[in-house]
Amino acid sequence: MDRSGAVGVMLPRDLAPSQVLPYARRADELGFDELWVVEDLGFRGGVAQAAAVLAATERVRVGIGLLPVGARNAAFAAMEVATLAQLFPGRVDIGIGHGMPAWMRSVGEWPASPLTLLEEYLRAVIALTGGDAVEPGEYVALDAVRLEGACVPDAPPLVLAGVRGPRSLAVSGRVADGTILAEPTTPEYVRAALGHIDAHRPHRLVGYNAAAVHADAAVAVDAVRAGLEWIGEPDWAPHLAPLPFADEFAVLRRESGSREEFVRRLPEEWVRQLAVTGTPADARARLGELFAAGVDSVVLIPVGAEPFQVMESLAEVL
């Protein structure tokens, strides 16, 4: 495996509060390059988690994946981002995205033009954390707002867009410092996404994947199935369209009466392509394929009932 790419691990969103900081410290000790925290509706806030785990660790880079544009005023989001970057220089990446449509509608924050809001929001956060002001837009109506000089970080963090669809990927390539691809990230999806991103400056690509590793490959493949339950839903269509088995996949999902039946029936070959799994050697080979396709950082999503045990096994790929 080419270790020119980074390998990160995700902090499970439902860890017991007493386990959050020990988990972060252990990820740091095990040598993961990155630790990503999640902001999903109804779970824990992304900024608070990031601040806590940054303070509790020494080395590991921390990413927030991701802050929905409808959840915070762009100026106040930039203040949070700049604060993290000043307190923990060089250790923070910020993911920003639309948010899941159903979640954002449930809190009354889904705009008439999600693409316009995303582009304006990304531009505003990037400009403000760099010490600049922004012109008022259709949604991000900031009037001569800028951060005080003492609060502008010397090195603003990378602001990445967490998006899927072709038009959103194009916005990311035009405006953001990088893109976060949700799971499953396959080499085929990476190449398709990069074609839509079409960035003309340095652009960091982060790919999430469900992951389980075991000395017995069959045990790992069986374990990781639980992390693939949602990928047959409509929102995941962009991930699946480039795959050679996309049509067969769609038929299987239609024929399955539940998500549990669907993942149980997934052929082992498909599971291996939709996750980072198998033996440590299998997983390292898959990481190498993802790096070769253009991913700069692969973030492993631990799948299993014992988060610490799963993370220890994932560390064998490092």
Q: Which parts of the chain sit beneath pLDDT 70?
A: 1-3
* 0.85 surpassed by pTM: yes
Tell me what pLDDT residue 4 has.
76
Tell me what pLDDT residue 2 has.
46
DSSP 204-267: EEEEEEEEEE-SSHHHHHHHHGGGGGGGGSGGGHHHHTTSTTHHHHHHHHHH-SSHHHHHHHS-
